[in-house]
Amino acid sequence: MSKTAALELKKVSKRFGSVVANHQVDLTVYQGEILSVLGENGSGKTTLMNMIAGIYYPDDGQIFVDGKEAVIRSPKDAFDYKIGMIHQHFKLVDVFTATENIVLGLREEKGFDLKKSAARIREISEKYGFEIDPDKKIYQMSVSEKQTVEIIKVLYRGADILILDEPTAVLTPQETQKLFAVLRRMRDDGKAIIIITHKLHEVLALSDRVSVLRKGESIGTVITAETNEAQLTEMMVGKKISLNIDRSEPKNLTDRLVVRNINCSSRDGVKLLDNVTFTARSGEILGIAGIAGSGQRELLESIAGLQHVDSGEILYYDPKTGAEENLRDKTPLQIREMGVRLSFVPEDRLGMGLVGNMDIAENMMLRSYRRGKSIFLEKKQPRTLAEEIIKQLEVVTPSVNTPVRRLSGGNVQKVLVGREISSSPSVLMAAYPVRGLDINSSYLIYKLLNEQKENGVAVIFVGEDLDVLLELCDRILVIGAGRVTGIVDARTATKEEIGLLMTKTEGGEAHG
């Protein structure tokens, strides 16, 4: 049986400045199948898909739809070829209703009638079992509701080729199962579905075939039924690796940071943190696991003085004197002035941790510029620090004067972590510090965190990859919907156990 290729890419390349995002990538997907595009963060999956969806235009190569060469210059062109993409970052207009977002850009022949459209949306929702209010505004919706709108948008358009960019990152396991059921139904309907992911178990559970990308190049395509995790991992990272992070036994454990019953809520009154209590001890790495958006960011920002806390206390014990300080509702500056050496590697590196348009030395200054009584900036010392970090962490950069925005993700992170460590902290918090990094850079970061731990720093590590959390951390705090659902010993816990805790809700009962 020879099927028609619904979509075929031949030797597609894309560069951004000096960075090669895709190099001569080939990819084929047939009607009635689910193809996984697997690759590490930064392997060029999203760029590749954006070229199919018309967001980027390839520098080189050809795209064929149904065997005919296609030129996709804009998303509109993509729609004409019946290609629909569900982006990882939702493309929705906040002040519009679900219906308005769904019909946006459509040219229906029946004319413009939002009521009729809403009725059709209800129809689609019923058919696939979505729960959605077509008249609800996007800014009032939860993340999963927004994703539902995105999916309905594509279904409404009757796309034949569907691309989903990391659709499960924001979903609970139950929602993921629902989504997979929908995708299977669409496949049986004869649609071609591409799902981008870096989660192996999803690949194995859902797809018919897997194409693997590595460093912007296609490595190969295998049939899911004939492969296994080990083979896919090897294709994905290049060499067969076992996650082998040296983990030393914690020494001289002392309570450094005690968080007690903190609560905080968003402007609209939604609870972000619900009675969170835990202790971070010096000389150990405390991991924080949870589905994205469960309150991890708010938790770290509360400690760092960036998030208002409604109630509870955040106690810090000075390593030298043992004196107790309450950090709650102190500003970051006050916390510094109290002599608390708190370092924080935030999730948003260029939007928060660093200033993209400033060079490495100027970014070093962010932490140190207040020093000294002079009204003028001390420029020499940050420069020396910058040069040291470049040397020690092997930062690849044309010079100290290069704006950090131009560095690659891994090098940006080295600059940020390097700066935060340089102030010899007593508490180090890192949010998703290896997201988007290649394996080598990731391991360097793990090594740095371990060194800090051995130096007696209380390290708090927010991660998404459970394997890494289990191998790197000493204890893992699991957070679900803003509350602590469990604290486990990383040496004895299993992935399944943590996975269960991540989805646990009130009353101690886990779903599924």
User: Which residues fall within 8 angstroms of residue 294, CB to CB, at 6 or more apart?
Assistant: 479, 480, 481, 482, 502
Residue 133 or residue 465: which is nearer to other proteins going by CB? 133
Q: What is the footprint of other proteins within residues 283-312 (CB under 8 A)?
A: 304-306
Q: Which segment (25-33, 91-99, 191-199, 288-296) binds other proteins by CB under 8 A?
A: 91-99
Q: Which two tokens stand for residue 396?
A: 């690849």
CB 208 within 8 A of CB 33: yes
Beta-bridged to residue 258, according to DSSP, are 279, 315
d(CA 342, CA 364): 16
370 binds other proteins (CB under 8 A): yes
Q: What is the footprint of other proteins within residues 446-505 (CB under 8 A)?
A: none
376 binds other proteins (CB under 8 A): yes
Among 131, 348, 388, 489, binds other proteins (CB under 8 A): 348
Among 124, 182, 338, 352, binds other proteins (CB under 8 A): 352
Among 215, 247, 367, 435, binds other proteins (CB under 8 A): 367
361 binds other proteins (CB under 8 A): no
18 binds other proteins (CB under 8 A): yes
d(CA 482, CA 512): 20
User: Is 80 in a helix, a strand, or coil?
Assistant: helix
Q: How far is the CB of 226 from other proteins (least distance, A)?
A: 33
Amino acid of residue 186: M
26 binds other proteins (CB under 8 A): no
User: Which residues fall within 8 angstroms of residue 390, CB to CB, at 6 or more apart?
Assistant: 360, 397, 400
Among 12, 56, 411, 442, binds other proteins (CB under 8 A): 56
Among 1, 2, 17, 492, binds other proteins (CB under 8 A): 17
Q: How far is the CB of 454 from other proteins (least distance, A)?
A: 27
d(CA 258, CA 362): 34
Q: How far is the CB of 60 from other proteins (least distance, A)?
A: 8
Residue 71 or residue 230: which is nearer to other proteins going by CB? 71
Among 87, 187, 453, 504, binds other proteins (CB under 8 A): 87
266 binds other proteins (CB under 8 A): no
Q: What is the footprint of other proteins within residues 120-139 (CB under 8 A)?
A: 137, 139
d(CA 331, CA 106): 48
Among 20, 26, 28, 55, binds other proteins (CB under 8 A): 55
CB 349 within 8 A of CB 341: no
Could you tell me the strand order of the sheet in which 324-326 lies? 271-282, 254-265, 311-317, 324-326
Could you tell me the strand order of the sheet in which 475-480 lies? 342-345, 427-431, 458-462, 285-289, 475-480, 483-489
d(CA 68, CA 481): 48
70 binds other proteins (CB under 8 A): yes
Q: How far is the CB of 430 from other proteins (least distance, A)?
A: 14
Residue 40 or residue 165: which is nearer to other proteins going by CB? 165
Beta-bridged to residue 14, according to DSSP, are 22
Per-residue x/- track, 388-407, other proteins (CB under 8 A): ------------------x-
Residue 71 or residue 241: which is nearer to other proteins going by CB? 71
Size of the site for other proteins (CB under 8 A): 72
Q: What is the footprint of other proteins within residues 94-123 (CB under 8 A)?
A: 94-96, 100-101, 103-107, 112
User: Which residues fall within 8 angstroms of residue 392, CB to CB, at 6 or more apart?
Assistant: 418
Tokens 């199948």 belong to which residue? 33
Instruction: Compute the radius of gyration of the chain from its Cα atoms.
Output: 24
Q: Which segment (38-46, 92-100, 194-202, 469-477) binds other proteins by CB under 8 A?
A: 92-100
Backbone angles phi, psi at 218, to 5 degrees: -80, 135
Q: Which segment (124-132, 194-202, 225-233, 359-367) binds other proteins by CB under 8 A?
A: 359-367
Q: What is the footprint of other proteins within residues 308-347 (CB under 8 A)?
A: 331-336, 344, 346
Q: What is the DSSP string of 42-66?
A: TSSHHHHHHHHTTSS--SEEEEEET
